């Protein structure tokens, strides 16, 4: 689980001041969400928390709790391969997804909204 933080000088130009923060338990008291997980004191781990600096789109999948992140950017094939492999290593995308991409010159695909995994079975657009 991600952690909640309060930084009193969040907008400061002074890096030392801006980096002062304390852990809080309440969503209402927080002005930051941190990637560090707090569910196991013995293992340091992170959730993926990103400040995406380019136009992007998130589309929910027909599989509950899943989705598709679309980031229109120009990424070299080698860098995209490395990104896909890193996401696979941490369990964000499946090994099969990356394997299929590897067979298509590292091109990935997602179904557009309303298209089912089963051919000929369209989902409701409602």
Mean pLDDT of the chain: 87
Q: Closest Cα to residue 56, out of 67, 47, 48, 44?
A: 67
Sequence-ordered list of residues with C-beta below 8 angstroms from that of 6, at least 6 positions apart, any chain: 21, 22, 24, 29, 30, 31, 32
Q: Which two tokens stand for residue 35?
A: 């990637």
Question: Where along the chain do its domains lie?
Answer: 1-49, 50-126
Q: What is the pLDDT of residues 63-107, one digit of tens each?
A: 888 899 999 999 999 999 999 999 999 999 999 999 999 999 999
Helix H or strand E encompassing 3: strand 3-6
pTM: 0.75
């Amino acid at each position: 689980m991600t952690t909640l933080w309060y930084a009193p000088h969040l907008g400061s130009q002074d890096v030392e001041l801006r980096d002062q923060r304390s852990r809080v338990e309440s969503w209402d008291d927080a002005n930051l969400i941190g990637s560090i997980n707090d569910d196991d004191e013995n293992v340091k781990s992170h959730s993926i928390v990103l400040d995406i600096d380019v136009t992007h789109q998130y589309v929910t999948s027909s599989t509950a709790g899943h989705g598709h992140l679309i980031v229109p950017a120009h990424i070299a094939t080698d860098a995209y391969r490395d990104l896909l492999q890193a996401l696979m290593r941490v369990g964000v995308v499946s090994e099969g997804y990356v394997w299929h991409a590897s067979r298509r010159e590292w091109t990935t695909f997602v179904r557009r909204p309303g298209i089912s995994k089963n051919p000929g079975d369209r989902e409701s657009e409602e």
